[in-house]
Structure 1
């Protein structure tokens, strides 16, 4: 019983420390950029040791965590069957908050995508985001009358298309308006195919 309480207290303390580190990293990345921020600065800002920061993750992992948390906080709930929101509108607008996030700081967006393309295990939060996003998109399409199997496939295509569009946006190959237009075109195509 005593051991369980100590472990619970340690786990809670670790969670709070990681949250402080992540918040400090987010502030410093915004203020100084990814390359202008050091692990020592993050430790000083969070009031912890460099070792504590490294236990939470290296700089790249912390950036991924910052972005993953920011993205998760912006995920819109799927519309209900009674909602006036069409599947096309929901699917095309679903990603707007994420596009806004990526255009807020292009240097950080590029660094985040470099971290994603390395495919490190620390980026496992992307898998959780994919699962949640595909679930929400599938629900929206099913609520619009698209059979579940087709809706699931459509959600997979939407998520893959979204990642591709964000990579183009982060690389400076497109602008937010073009990105939103292409995502809407993809949503229109997917919902039309889902009903056939």
Structure 2
């Protein structure tokens, strides 16, 4: 019998193109920097047209996508109720992989935050990241005995604090050790409030 050749669906083709473009952008941004990379270079590296790259997003949107995916890949699962990890340790260490990502390439981190501050609709992935992060932090706080309402508010405050600290770090107004210390202080404060 003849094997039926099935064409990939349009959605699958778009997903594959997006993945190739994102991978190419990530590599070029890392090697050449944000400003040293052009959309034409991304298209060539991905093996697609400039139009296909622009269908995924402009250069700034691609940087946001690259960072959002890298951050999402590093999100640690919340501790279970049986875990020996304290809520303070989990909340303060939750952001360590992200801080590492931002200190790996300060120029890209600054470009990423410039993109975020523009508040463009393409930065919607940040909203999804916020939802996932706040859900994980809420779960960790609830597993530590914090009432539901306090846990949700604490998770929101923790995420907002983290973004503020990252912006300070990207602006060069602080260093990674100070950032980690302030995030830990915030985590200790939030968990203490949840118990009172």
- Following superposition, the deviation at residue 69 of structure 1 comes to 0.3
Instruction: Give the unaligned 5+ runs of structure 1.
Output: none
- The answer to whether 1:89 aligns with 2:81 is no
More helix by share: 1
Q: Which residue does 1:172 correspond to in 2?
A: 172
Q: Which residue does 1:99 correspond to in 2?
A: 99
Q: Which residue does 1:192 correspond to in 2?
A: 192
- Following superposition, the deviation at residue 192 of structure 1 comes to 0.3
SS, match of residue 169 in structure 1? helix
Q: Distance in 1 between matches of 2:110 and 2:65?
A: 15
Q: Which residue does 2:58 correspond to in 1?
A: 58
Q: Distance in 2 between matches of 1:160 and 1:11?
A: 34
Map 1:10-25 → 2, pairs under 5 A: 10-25=10-25
Give the CA RMSD over aligned residues.
0.9
Q: Which residue does 1:47 correspond to in 2?
A: 47
SS, match of residue 75 in structure 2? coil
Q: Distance in 1 between matches of 2:187 and 2:55?
A: 41
- Following superposition, the deviation at residue 10 of structure 1 comes to 1.2
Q: Distance in 1 between matches of 2:103 and 2:41?
A: 25
Instruction: Give the unaligned 5+ runs of structure 2.
Output: 1-5
SS, match of residue 28 in structure 2? helix
Compute the TM-score of the two structures, normalised by the length of structure 2. 0.96
Q: Distance in 2 between matches of 1:47 and 1:138?
A: 42
Q: Which residue does 1:108 correspond to in 2?
A: 108
Q: Distance in 1 between matches of 2:104 and 2:34?
A: 14
- Following superposition, the deviation at residue 26 of structure 1 comes to 0.2
Q: Which residue does 2:3 correspond to in 1?
A: none
Q: Which residue does 1:152 correspond to in 2?
A: 152
- Following superposition, the deviation at residue 9 of structure 1 comes to 1.1
Q: Distance in 2 between matches of 1:23 and 1:62?
A: 10
Q: Which residue does 1:9 correspond to in 2?
A: 9
Q: Distance in 1 between matches of 2:121 and 2:180?
A: 30
- Following superposition, the deviation at residue 84 of structure 1 comes to 0.1
